[in-house]
Amino acid sequence: MTHKERFLMAINHEEPDRVPIDVWYTPEAEKKLLKYLGEDTEKLSLYAADGGYLPHIMDHDFLITWIGPCTSYYSQDSEEYYDEWGIKWRWVDTKTGNRYTEMVERPLADIKDPDEFRMPDFKNEERYKESKKMIEKYRKEYGVMGGLACTLFELSWYLRGMDKVLEDMVINKDFLHAYLDKLLMWVMDAGSVLVRYGVDVIWIGDDFGAQDRLLISPEMFREFFKPRYLKLFSYLKSINPDLKFAFHTDGYVIPIMKDLIETGVNILNPVQPQSMDPARLKRDFGKELTFWGTIDNQGTMPFGTVEDVINETKLRLKTVAPGGGLILGPSHNVQPQVPVENIMAFYDTVKKFGNYPINL
């Protein structure tokens, strides 16, 4: 069975030969694993338009080609830089050995009219040259996603500031509706290009969940975001009726799960188990959704033993994998403090116990 066949069967709620795998890494963690494997540590892949290197050697089942606001992460050598949206970023060192870029200037904090700013051009297909090459090269062997990260809610406050956007929801609604309508255009433009190129899934990402609650009320989600996702998905489905949609949101989002399903979401990522019980999600929403992630990246992967990783991976296989609808991996980027032994224990356990029918 090819990686693509395995991936498509799983997201269509069928049982392939084994559970599909996907793991994300920070650059530091990726380099650490490549060194352990004796591979070239310069072949980093995070947010690479061509799908990257590590997924091939670790037997992942799909590739992602990234377009959009988040692709400036890790891409600059200077300590401070501006991205194409006008956001200023600064590198920050952490105690865990990572370097991250943080936003330090938001260009639209004081605008009164959305027409005051010009968006980057996402219709120009020169932007997609690497994506097109990757899709043409790998789409027969791998599932392929078009990743449009930091899509609408996140981009709105990246540009304007979280406090301003939350205020807009209450006291500046007309502005916010017009502002979100304008921001949605980049996703429709970029998504339409990638769908025409032949991706199997469009991946969008807006974090609506904190650790144990929503960041905004369900009513605000339904007023400002649900109608725009419906519009986006309907438009892209008109180009390819077989297209699937993956939605990334960290944290606890159970109060809007049905809303996400009603918009057309097929795949939920990353399913933090310390925020939502994957077995409960499978029971309550498993007929409509595929769950992508589910392995604890807050506790088990960085701080657990090899045995802990094995046991949690087997638990997910037992409780979430039957009937398909699972892509297994840590519930966000593996961090540099995660022991390589834990990473390898995850892969080895899926390969050993993740074959269908699941027998655990």
Once rounded to an integer, what is the mean pLDDT over residues 331-350? 96
Residue 78: the pLDDT is 80
Domain that holds residue 73: 3-353
* C-alpha–C-alpha distance, residues 289 and 298, integer Å: 23
Residue 116: the pLDDT is 93
Residue 359, domain member (yes or no) = no
Kindly indicate the confidence band of residue 99, based on its pLDDT and cuts at 50, 70 and 90. confident
| Percent of the chain's residues with pLDDT above 90 | 84
pLDDT tens for 172-193 read: 999 999 999 999 999 999 999 9
Residue 358, domain member (yes or no) = no
Determine phi and psi for 191, rounding to 5 degrees: -60, -40
Residue 43: the pLDDT is 63
Residue 27: the pLDDT is 83
Residue 123, domain member (yes or no) = yes
Residue 42: the pLDDT is 72
- pLDDT: which is higher, 344 or 53: 344
Residue 48: the pLDDT is 61
Q: Tell me, letter by letter, the H, E, C secondary structure of the chain.
A: CCHHHHHHHHHCCCCCCECCECCCECHHHHHHHHHHCCCCCCCCCCCCCCCCCHHHHCCCCEEEEECCHHHHCCCCCCCEEECCCCCEEEEEECCCCCEEEEEEECCCCCCCCHHHCCCCCCCCHHHHHHHHHHHHHHCCCCEEEEEECCCCHHHHHHHHCHHHHHHHHHHCHHHHHHHHHHHHHHHHHHHHHHHHHCCCEEEEECCCECCCCECCCHHHHHHHHHHHHHHHHHHHHHHCCCCEEEEECCCCCHHHHHHHHHHCCCEEECCCCCCCCHHHHHHHHCCCCEEEEEECCCCHHHHCCHHHHHHHHHHHHHHCCCCCCEEEEECCCECCCCCHHHHHHHHHHHHHHCECCCCC
Once rounded to an integer, what is the mean pLDDT over residues 144-151? 94
Once rounded to an integer, what is the mean pLDDT over residues 143-154? 96
Once rounded to an integer, what is the mean pLDDT over residues 59-81? 83
**Cα angle for residues 104, 108, 110 (degrees, 5° grid):** 105
Residue 257, domain member (yes or no) = yes
Q: How many structural domains comprise the chain?
A: 1
Q: Are 147 and 64 in contact (CB under 8 A)?
A: yes
Residue 360, domain member (yes or no) = no
Residue 218, domain member (yes or no) = yes
Residue 55, domain member (yes or no) = yes
What's the CATH number where 165 sits?
A: 3.20.20.210
Once rounded to an integer, what is the mean pLDDT over residues 45-70? 81
pLDDT at 148 over 70: yes
Residue 72: the pLDDT is 65
Could you tell me the two tokens for 337?
A: 């403090």
Q: Are 28 and 97 in contact (CB under 8 A)?
A: yes
- pLDDT: which is higher, 74 or 278: 278
Kindly indicate the confidence band of residue 52, based on its pLDDT and cuts at 50, 70 and 90. confident
Kindly indicate the confidence band of residue 127, based on its pLDDT and cuts at 50, 70 and 90. very high
Residue 202: the pLDDT is 98
